[in-house]
Structure 1
Amino acid sequence: MLSEERQIVMKRLFTLLSLVILHQFSAQESLIDTVFIDNQFNKVGKTAKISRINSEKILENSTSLSDLLRFQSNIYIKENGRGATSSPSFRGTGAQRTAFVWNGINVNSIFLGQGDINNLNLLSYENVGIKFGGGSVIYGSGAIGGSVHLNNTLDFDKGFHGSLFSEFGSFGTLNSFIKTKFSNEKLSFSFSANHSKSDNDYEVAEKKFINRNGEYQNTGFNLGLAYKINENNEFYWQTQHYDSDQHYPIFDENQTKTKYLVQTFRSLAGWKSHSNKIKNDLKLVYLEDNFQYFGDINKAKSNGGIGKQYIVRNDFDYFVSNKSSFNLISEYQYNQGEGYQSGIQNPKRNQVNLSLLYRNEQLAKFYWELGAKYDFVEGYESPFLFSASGKYKVNDWYQTSINISRNFKAPTFNDLFWTPGGNPDLKAETSYQAEMSHYLSYQNFKLGITPYYIKMKDMIQWVPVTPAIWSPINVDKVDFYGLETELSFNKNWTNQKLNSQISYSYTKAIDQETKNQLSYVPIHQINFNTNYQYKIVGLFFQALYNSKRFTNNTESNFLKDFLVLNAGININPIKNIQVGFKVNNIANQIYETVNYYFMPKRNYAVNLKLNF
């Protein structure tokens, strides 16, 4: 444990550093037009492999974030039946090694160290970004396989506009949202509300499976505000409230029905300012996660908890020249938890993170950056982290990039304090990663090829100590390696356009002790998406193939491979009105992403979108 004196010294150093940075603003010369709340995402995109999913693409898989990531990314999604507990496997690394980043802030649970995708409502966000590969220098614990970025936007001088969306689907499913925005030269305001619900009582007769007790509903509210203090200084605020009631499927009517309730509150206030040589972004953040598990929906809660995070984050850029800069990211966190019927009492943690990056683009065809980070974390020894990356444009049709980094995942409150079984002596997981991307383009075609390698040490794994008690230990060494490729075609003609992309992932996740592939990691995965627009009619088609997946660290038990096809049509009969219809799982494929929990067969949805 860190001494009280050391904690006080670190807090004072952090406060002093923030004050020094904030007093560096001088002559104001250029105009701020748009608020980029996650201002690091565009920076890392200069060398790292990233993917952006805009609001129109989101509506193609509006049921859940699970569906969106499953059909429009290379991330494997494990879902205990549609709408139930869902987690990602990014490059085979598992849920706890994927960071979920809300407007630039890592929001993985301080209890579990991961995000439940089906409790991150997709309709709360205006765009989704995906960063492939390690990013712990910037985004902290868990950013090993990659990170998923959930963003809201604020613009100036756009007037008033809004949209209303409602979708009705099979199994009594309703997804809807309303969004409004107003902005002038000084003020930007946005508000949105969304609601999703479903009886979710689908059946797979061939497997004698009924998704009993699978209903869910959730509601979210988002409020954003930005104000220009003057031409080079602005204040912004983004807040979100989310409330969910999620039932867990049972296999027999005589089983006890269970459910899981979640209430999330996030609030972020920031101040951006810049002069000729300096840019600064100061964020004050409060995150709160409440959850309650009911072992019997007709009785009081069985266990639960509340987690609170107080964060001060400062992102300071000093431009040595127009082509090079130093970027200092300093962050202080105070994490506090309170468990109920879990043995966790009131764990607390102080943490100070300091990251320094240098970026350089002196040569017209070559861009590179170096990064280093050190965490002062109460309760465990934290590793020194680094990153190095560069991109070189060889000619008009070929460019290449390389990324090398050391990343980590901190032990969570459950890992350390769960009773019985928690292990306060756990080390942080560390990993070394290297990847090299190649990008080729010819006319309307683009091809990307990225081989990668991740070597992980001290992987945290829960193992049985007795038949009734499990405990986490640092045991595993795992190597992850593979290849990701994407081929896209984009073409615009008079009154029509076509956008298509096919991606293929080869993923090996090998336990160095057993030499077997880790569970629920498909070796082969293929995604295909195409959109065709002709005047007022738009068509889209999606295909997803996953090879067989082992359900434990042996090769004797596995889930069969599957191919799922979706298609939809959108029509704009008059201006500002869009009507859509889609069919999911056209071929009636029977498939599982987690053992015993079958996903829906063919199902339908119709939607209406109004812009005003």
Structure 2
Amino acid sequence: MILKKTFILVSVSSCFALYFGQEKTIDTVYVFDNQMKKVKLFHSLNTLSPADIQKNSSNLSEVLRFQSSVYIKENGRGAVSSPSFRGTTAQHTAFVWNGININSQFLGQGDINNIALFGYDQVEIKAGGGSVIYGSGAIGGSIHLNNDLSFNQGFKGLFNSEVASFGTYNNFLKASYSNDRFSFKASGNYSISENDYEVPEKKYINRNGKFYNTTFNIGAAYKIAKNQTISWQSQFYDATQNYRILEENGNRTSYEAQTFRSLVSWDIDKSKFSNSLKAAYTEDNFQYFGVYNAPFTSGGINKNYIFKNDFNYFIIPKLNINVIGEFQQNQAEGLGTSELRNASRNVGSAAGLLRYFATSNLRFEAGIKQNFVEDISSPLLYSFSGKWKANNWYQVNLNLSKNFRFPSFNDLYWEPGGNLDLKPETSAQADLNQEFSVLGFKLSLTPYYIKIDNMIRWLPTAMGYWAAFNTEKVESYGLESQLSYEKSFNQNHSVKLIAGYVYTKSVDLETQKQLMYVPLHKFSSNIDYQYKFLRVFAQGMFNGLTYTTSDESRKYAIYPYFIMNAGLSATVLKKYTLGFKVNNITDTVYETVEYYPLPKRNYSINATINF
């Protein structure tokens, strides 16, 4: 793009970025989550490519554990897993698939190890509240699973196969074709693991730990006119997890999950305005088998019908208004011995955002949103962001927001214990991101503060069962920091470094105690080095003291540990890559949930063919 003094904004489909230059339509890539392009103007994101994901190919838990600031609680490798973002709980993290919130309507959260790992073009991690755009649960942060489609790229394909310790096999195939008007992409993944690792120091054997899953993604886009695109993206996921047993002849239990997601979008993009109309259907089914080789004991079906319209208009080149309307119908049914029967609700929302670009280095965004949740009184939400690039080496970004989570179906309708009088959880929060750039290094420092009211907890009652109540007020504050460096030398050498440190203090204001499974300190680092056809990477993660009880008992706490992974790969003829990885090089005994150690040193070999 030729730079000029004329001020102008590139349109939304052109990445909605601010430039000093002439307008130019960039239609090479169609992104399904059009809001992410706007979010990047005001918020820092951690973006992981498919190559980054491949470094931790066991599951999404491993990816987030080593490549983000999120703390992951995993009940053994491949089993039930949940995130803790900025000292909040799993219900305060929103999982977003191509712009659609996919948290379970039963639990109000996502089980990380029952979310597909492969088939995305980017995984993006956003810390901080985002309920104005991404809805219920986006309090601590959000994890975005994004797909895109390119035009004018012809045919491309990739096949990757991996063999790893504990009887693990992982195969992934992706193919795409596009011309100037049509784009198509499909991918499939099959993973299986006997998962029979041992940790002698803990007298732990992961008996009955087998898991396997299959994923199929398909997407297409067609330009029906110069400024109009019709697109479609779908995902099919099928998985089984076996749950660990203590004795060889113990009763073998398991959990099966099936997910279907489909999204259709009609996008209009012109110089002054754009509009994205989306219709989506998502379905999550699960079955729990309490007895081996017998019919399922309990289960559930969750269906969601979603309609969303995103209208964007430039009043003047410096002033932009964005109006988002959404309607959902959520349906759920418990099966077998499940204590939740038929439940449904209608959920609507209207949001407005105003963005002002004072100069190329100074911009502001203010948002407001009202939710309409059937039979639940919803608060008015707001957000404000300001970003200022003071000079070439310093920029600062302020974010303020009010966010919320409405009760899940289990919170409301589980019998016994559901509570129809529950209020939504609300949070007020602020963070101040400062970024320093010197000699190719970038240092980011972000102090933050979150206060959550009406937190929903399940507590024992005098009648002998547990029930849902609005109880706690929680205060979370701390510091996120990241140092990055990237440089190429003589076209033969390149190096990339990312290191992050997080301090998190998350306190129940009634007891003044740290919340369970919130480490005070976490450090992670990733370094990549490439020389011609050889590439080496190394990862390190330090996890600080983590309490597993509400009284801060050190007897039952998880004590600090350090884990290191490394890998080496070689590419021949630009098409064929062979790689080798060692996980937990230090052979550390560690766990993220008490009594569930994760594997000691283990290995994998992988091969990739590009065609």
Given the two structures, how large is their TM-score scaled by the length of structure 2?
0.94
**Residues 396, 432 of structure 2: 8 Å contact kept:** yes
Say which of 421, 426, 430 aligns to 1:434: 430
SS at match of 1:521: coil
CA distance in 2, matches of 1:194, 1:29: 37
Amino acid at match of 2:518: V
SS at match of 1:598: coil
Which residue matches 1:322?
317
Q: Give 1:244-393 correspondences, 5 Å limit.
A: 244-340=239-335, 341-393=337-389
CA distance in 2, matches of 1:597, 1:35: 42
Q: Give 1:73-472 correspondences, 5 Å limit.
A: 73-340=68-335, 341-466=337-462, 468-472=464-468
Say which of 507, 510, 516 aligns to 1:519: 516
SS at match of 2:36: helix
Which residue matches 2:46?
51
Amino acid at match of 1:222: N
Which residue matches 2:3?
none
CA distance in 1, matches of 2:372, 2:512: 35
CA distance in 2, matches of 1:31, 1:363: 22
Q: How far 1:420 moved relative to its partner?
A: 1.0
CA distance in 2, matches of 1:187, 1:468: 61
Q: How far 1:322 moved relative to its partner?
A: 2.0
1:501 aligns with 2:498: yes
Instruction: Output one character per residue of 1:159-193: Cα deviation in whole Å (capped at 9) or x when no partner.
Output: 00010001100000011110000000010001100
Amino acid at match of 2:358: Q
Q: How far 1:42 moved relative to its partner?
A: 2.1
CA distance in 2, matches of 1:215, 1:127: 28
Amino acid at match of 2:237: Y
Q: How far 1:467 moved relative to its partner?
A: 7.8
SS at match of 1:46: coil
Instruction: Output one character per residue of 1:260-283: Cα deviation in whole Å (capped at 9) or x when no partner.
Output: 000000000000102232100010
- How many equivalent residue pairs? 585
CA distance in 2, matches of 1:468, 1:604: 48
CA distance in 2, matches of 1:498, 1:179: 28
Instruction: Output one character per residue of 1:539-558: Cα deviation in whole Å (capped at 9) or x when no partner.
Output: 00000000111111112131
Please, which runs of 5 or more residues in structure 2 have no aligned partner?
Answer: 1-22
**Residues 354, 375 of structure 1: 8 Å contact kept:** yes
Say which of 527, 530, 555 aligns to 2:527: 530
CA distance in 1, matches of 2:536, 2:464: 53
**Residues 27, 151 of structure 2: 8 Å contact kept:** no
**Residues 31, 147 of structure 2: 8 Å contact kept:** no
SS at match of 2:177: strand
**Residues 32, 232 of structure 1: 8 Å contact kept:** no
Which residue matches 1:559?
558
Q: How far 1:320 moved relative to its partner?
A: 0.9
Amino acid at match of 1:208: K
Amino acid at match of 1:525: K
CA distance in 2, matches of 1:572, 1:259: 40
For the aligned residue pairs, the C-alpha RMSD in angstroms reads 1.2
CA distance in 2, matches of 1:96, 1:68: 20
CA distance in 1, matches of 2:25, 2:249: 68
CA distance in 2, matches of 1:379, 1:251: 44
Say which of 20, 28, 31 aligns to 1:33: 28
Q: How far 1:49 moved relative to its partner?
A: 2.2
Which residue matches 2:574?
575
Identity of aligned residues (%): 51
Q: How far 1:602 moved relative to its partner?
A: 0.2
SS at match of 2:550: coil
Which residue matches 1:475?
471
CA distance in 1, matches of 2:474, 2:449: 11
Which residue matches 2:541?
544
CA distance in 2, matches of 1:411, 1:607: 43
SS at match of 2:55: helix
Which residue matches 1:22?
none
Instruction: Output one character per residue of 1:417-472: Cα deviation in whole Å (capped at 9) or x when no partner.
Output: 01111111100000000000000001210000000000000000111115851111
Amino acid at match of 1:502: A
Which residue matches 1:592?
591
Which residue matches 2:5?
none
Instruction: Output one character per residue of 1:580-601: Cα deviation in whole Å (capped at 9) or x when no partner.
Output: 0000000100001001000000
Given the two structures, how large is their TM-score scaled by the length of structure 1?
0.94
CA distance in 1, matches of 2:74, 2:360: 46
CA distance in 1, matches of 2:292, 2:190: 22
**Residues 331, 352 of structure 1: 8 Å contact kept:** yes
SS at match of 1:554: coil
Please, which runs of 5 or more residues in structure 1 have no aligned partner?
Answer: 1-27
CA distance in 2, matches of 1:314, 1:32: 21
CA distance in 2, matches of 1:247, 1:399: 49
